[in-house]
Chain A
Amino acid sequence: MAGAKRRSAAPVIGVMAVQGDFREHLDTLASIGALTREVRLPEDLEGVSGLILPGGESTAMRKLYERWNLVAPIKALAASGAPILGTCAGAILLATKITDGDTPVLSLIDMEVQRNAFGRQLESFETTLTMQSLKPGGGATPLRAVFIRAPEIVRVGPAATVIAQLPDGKIVAARQGNVVGISFHPEIAGETRLHRWVLEQAAQHARRG
């Protein structure tokens, strides 16, 4: 991103809309008063101050990202300091390593993820887990989470931090600076906390211009 462009005070949050539950993310963002934009092509990212990568099928998304040259501009947006949140398939796209061979896509969080780590659909589940606040000095609070054929974060490297684990120790959320990847779906659980964080960070990012 050129970075020098003036951005208006109200930030626009982009939601990757090549495939997946992007409408649920758009609805969640609208419910907290955010301005949103569907992103399918690189030009849709212009003027966006925060980005959400929804859930869906990461294999399908990967092909659409690669075909339409979306990887480089998303990485540039992350490098500019804009907040990025990836849920489920979105988190897989953010990882630096994918277990069992698939090449990484965006490599924005120093972590290894394993696709479908909990099993097939019959193992999909809902629970309440404890998540570290994304704000400095914030504590840990319970969060409702739905896991659909979810990935597990099997290893977090030195550049990233674990922000949520299941009671058995499985890592399901990690962060590297302004980029957050989670295995589950707050957008279908009525949770707005992560979306609020994206909105707040995007507003700061827009002010920094």
Chain B
Amino acid sequence: MKKRSAPAKTKVAKSTWATKRGLAQMLKGGVIMDVVTPAEAKIAEEAGAVAVMALERVPSDIRRDGGVARMSDPDMIKGILDAVSIPVMAKARIGHHVEAQILEALDVDYIDESEVLTPADDRFHINKHEFRVPFVCGCKDLGEALRRINEGAAMMRTKGEAGTGNIVEAVRHIRTVSEQIEALKGQSEKRLRAAAKEMRVPYELVKVTVKAGRLPVVNFVAGGIATPADAALSMWLGADGVFVGSGIFKAKNPAKTAAAIVQATTHWSNPTILAEVSAGIGEAMKGIEMRTIPESERLSSRGW
């Protein structure tokens, strides 16, 4: 069977850093939408989503209902895997190694180790290097992003404040990451080593980040995106793409809102198109003012 002319190195390697990081690269410039049923997943795919996040309740409902939020029922995740041809992500609790194993066994395309669910471990995040499936994690600042990448996350998203329909925290988080990278540019090796120590990550990781001027993995914005303009603002601030949670299926017209957010993410730099796609899509989700959420109830403060 073997051809004599075949090159020496034809062996096949799966779940490499290039394939893990690579899928996130393919999602760039796109919108990943939270869905709770196969029917919603189909609406998302039809609107042009690049992936869906399968979960039991969207963040605004988790916020309203309270209690412990956990990984979704495998049957529900399977239903969504079968319903669409685009990648399917699912959430595991922070530090919940076994929920992640279950999601990997279900053959999901990406796991979100997410602060939207109730954390399972108050000391350790999942050691993501041990898994074949890639992970996305949330961050509020550069140190948090690099710690997660050091643990094996192949994609990041800034946290924002999920389920609020309020973009202000998302803006703060992506600005913070960018400003912190900017502040390290041109600094001496000694200063970079000190920064690495302070952030509790290897010097090499800080070095490649500063040299590239951006995180070494794809970075989306999440948490509070409710309108096409919010998505375009995220892209303007340097996001590689956007996650939209409650913003779509809590809007008056989910299909129209979803399609408009997809258009706005591609054409973020073209205000004429943004005006066109923002028109006549119906009311956005109501949203919550940040001052009304006590510090202890902020999801973004979960994880470290």
B48 touches A (CB below 8 Å): yes
A74 touches B (CB below 8 Å): no
Q: Which of A56, A130, A185 contacts B50 (CB 8 A)?
A: A56
Q: List the interface of chain B (C-beta within 8 A of A).
A: 2-3, 5-7, 9-16, 18-19, 22-23, 25-30, 45, 47-51, 81, 85-87, 104, 107-110, 132-134, 259, 262-263, 265-267, 270
A-B interface, 3 closest residue pairs, ranked by CB to CB distance from nearest: A121-B109, A142-B7, A124-B19
Q: Is there an interface contact between A127 and B10, defined as CB atoms closer than 8 Å?
A: yes
Q: Is there an interface contact between B87 and A149, defined as CB atoms closer than 8 Å?
A: yes
Question: In chain B, what residue has the closest Cβ to A60?
Answer: B48
Complex formed: what's the CA distance from A20 to B265 in Å?
A: 12
Q: Which of A21, A59, A63, A167 contacts B10 (CB 8 A)?
A: A167
Q: Is there an interface contact between B263 and A57, defined as CB atoms closer than 8 Å?
A: no
A204 touches B (CB below 8 Å): no
Q: Which residues of B contact A120 (CB under 8 A)?
A: 81, 87, 107-109
Q: Is there an interface contact between B134 and A57, defined as CB atoms closer than 8 Å?
A: no
Complex formed: what's the CA distance from A41 to B15 in Å?
A: 36
Q: Is there an interface contact between B266 and A40, defined as CB atoms closer than 8 Å?
A: yes
Question: In chain A, what residue has the closest Cβ to B50?
Answer: A57
Complex formed: what's the CA distance from A118 to B120 in Å?
A: 34
Q: Which residues of B contact A55 (CB under 8 A)?
A: 25-26
Complex formed: what's the CA distance from A88 to B48 in Å?
A: 17
Decide yes or no: A22 and B107 within 8 Å by CB, A127-B10, A185-B22 being known contacts: no
Q: Is there an interface contact between B9 and A121, defined as CB atoms closer than 8 Å?
A: no
Sorting the interface of chain A by its residue count into under 10, 10 to 19, 20 to 34 or 35 or more gives: 35 or more
Question: In chain B, what residue has the closest Cβ to A63?
Answer: B48
Q: Is there an interface contact between A21 and B26, defined as CB atoms closer than 8 Å?
A: yes
Majority DSSP secondary structure for residues of B touching A: loop
A-B pairs with beta carbons under 8 Å apart, 9 shown: A57-B27, A60-B30, A64-B263, A120-B109, A121-B108, A121-B133, A121-B134, A125-B12, A126-B18
Q: Which residues of B contact A185 (CB under 8 A)?
A: 22
Q: Which residues of B contact A88 (CB under 8 A)?
A: 26
Majority DSSP secondary structure for residues of A touching B: mixed
Complex formed: what's the CA distance from A60 to B18 in Å?
A: 23
- Write the nearest CB–CB distance from B231 to chain A, whole angstroms: 13
Q: Which of B16, B18, B30, B266 contacts A57 (CB 8 A)?
A: B30
Complex formed: what's the CA distance from A21 to B266 in Å?
A: 13
Q: Is there an interface contact between B19 and A146, defined as CB atoms closer than 8 Å?
A: yes
Decide yes or no: A60 and B19 within 8 Å by CB, A24-B25, A121-B134 being known contacts: no
Q: Is there an interface contact between B28 and A124, defined as CB atoms closer than 8 Å?
A: no
Q: Which residues of B contact A57 (CB under 8 A)?
A: 26-27, 30, 50-51, 86-87
Q: Which of A59, A64, A123, A129 contacts B14 (CB 8 A)?
A: A123
Complex formed: what's the CA distance from A23 to B27 in Å?
A: 12
Q: Is there an interface contact between B132 and A122, defined as CB atoms closer than 8 Å?
A: yes
Complex formed: what's the CA distance from A63 to B258 in Å?
A: 13
Q: Is there an interface contact between B49 and A60, defined as CB atoms closer than 8 Å?
A: yes
Decide yes or no: A19 and B266 within 8 Å by CB, A128-B7, A149-B87 being known contacts: yes
Q: Which residues of B contact A64 (CB under 8 A)?
A: 48, 262-263, 266
- Write the nearest CB–CB distance from B1 to chain A, whole angstroms: 8
Q: Which of B5, B85, B110 contacts A116 (CB 8 A)?
A: B85
Q: Which residues of A contact B11 (CB under 8 A)?
A: 127
Q: Which residues of B contact A167 (CB under 8 A)?
A: 2-3, 6, 10
